[in-house]
Amino acid sequence: MAKIAIIGGTGVTSMPGLTVHHREMVKTPYGAPSCPLIHGELNGVDVIFLARHGRRHTIPPHLVNYRANIQALHEIGVTHTIALAAVGGITDDCVDQAIVIPDQIIDYTYGRAHTFHSGTRDKFEHIDVTEPYASSVRERLLAAAEKAGVAHIPNGVYGVTQGPRLETAAEIVRMERDGCTIVGMTGMPETSLARELGIDYACCAMVVNRAAGKSVNGISFSDIEANVRGSVANVQRVLAEAVSTGFS
Ligand code: HPA
């Protein structure tokens, strides 16, 4: 039986529409996850919700314990995960409040605990991340966005930076040359850790600002907040539809 988790990012530390049943703190060999897992119901379907940055949004992207988060989901039997992300838009189509379902990642992070293979397990594997996102979840998100009538960009390359600072304009030029269409700080190692534990995982990103150097007015935090607020309702419609159509 599929068990679905939603990892909430910036602006999504709780989920309106989620009926909360109970909270569970799961201890893992890697430490504590960002906050207790919330067991609840979305659109009549049991889901687990985890706020990546903690309940009060206090854990910056480079200090998120990604291993504890993914291990905790795995320990309670999660099979499928939808990860939400607030990102900057690099390419011209990735305007403020666009919803993007990325299909690729370039990882620019460093120094993060990025694997469960830390020399203590019997054997390690070179996991295949040719397609970093699980088609089972990505396709469900795409179908859900269609059905919910939410405009979206059906693919994209998510460049993951270390943060917590934003990028320089030259870094964004380089990332665009590399092929990145959006930029955020949390897609890795979360995505590959989920693959290591066999969790089907995909991302639903909302563009909350134009990336550095891409807008004449620069990046404004009040605009980011407004764009988060403006996107959350659409993201929630996609999620409600995605979970209700079920996963296999
Ligand atoms: N860069 C990196 N991460 C982000 C951005 C950005 O412009 N916006 C939201 N998360």
- Where does the pLDDT of residue 5 fall: very low under 50, low under 70, confident under 90, or very high at 90 and above? very high
pLDDT for the residue numbered 121: 60
Sorted by where each begins, the domain ranges of the chain are: 4-242
For ligand 1, atom 2, name the residue with the nearest CA: 184
Whole-angstrom Cα distance, residue 24 to residue 63?
A: 21
Q: Are 106 and 228 in contact (CB under 8 A)?
A: no
pLDDT for the residue numbered 246: 67
Whole-angstrom Cα distance, residue 89 to residue 6?
A: 22
Whole-angstrom Cα distance, residue 123 to residue 115?
A: 13
Amino acid, single-letter form, for residue 44 = G
Does the pLDDT of residue 120 top 80, yes or no? no
CA of residue 224 to ligand 1 center, whole Å? 9
CA distances from 7 to 144, 161, 170, 175, 180 (A): 17, 19, 31, 25, 22
Which among 52, 185, 217, 222 is the best mutation to test ligand 1's pocket, defined by most ligand atoms within 8 Å of the CB?
A: 185
Q: Are 181 and 221 in contact (CB under 8 A)?
A: no
Q: In the predicted model, what is the mean pLDDT of residues 129-138? A: 97
Amino acid, single-letter form, for residue 3 = K
Cβ of 166 less than 6 Å from ligand 1: yes
Does the pLDDT of residue 239 top 80, yes or no? yes
Cβ of 175 less than 6 Å from ligand 1: no
Q: Could you say which DSSP state residue 216 is in? A: T
Does the pLDDT of residue 232 top 70, yes or no? yes
CA of residue 21 to ligand 1 center, whole Å? 33
- Where does the pLDDT of residue 161 fall: very low under 50, low under 70, confident under 90, or very high at 90 and above? very high
- CA distance from start to end of the chain: 8
Quote the percentage of the chain above a pLDDT of 90.
85
Mean of per-residue pLDDT scores for the chain: 94
The token pair at 184 is 């955020």
Q: Are 150 and 99 in contact (CB under 8 A)?
A: yes
Cβ of 238 less than 6 Å from ligand 1: no
Q: What angle do CA 86, 91, 97 make, to 5 degrees?
A: 40
Per-residue pLDDT tens digits for 208-230: 999 999 998 899 999 999 999 99
Quote the percentage of the chain above a pLDDT of 70.
97
CA of residue 121 to ligand 1 center, whole Å? 35
Higher pLDDT, 99 or 14: 99
Cβ of 109 less than 6 Å from ligand 1: no
pLDDT for the residue numbered 245: 75
The token pair at 218 is 């620069």
CA of residue 183 to ligand 1 center, whole Å? 6
Residues 6+ apart with CB under 8 A from 174: none
Residue among 37, 25, 29 at smallest CA distance from 67: 29
Does the pLDDT of residue 122 top 80, yes or no? no
The CATH architecture of the domain made up of 4-242 is: 3-Layer(aba) Sandwich (3.40)
Does the pLDDT of residue 119 top 90, yes or no? no
Per-residue pLDDT tens digits for 52-80: 999 888 999 999 999 999 999 999 999 99
Cβ of 239 less than 6 Å from ligand 1: no
Q: What is the pTM of this model?
A: 0.96
Residue among 131, 141, 135, 109 at smallest CA distance from 205: 141
Cβ of 183 less than 6 Å from ligand 1: yes
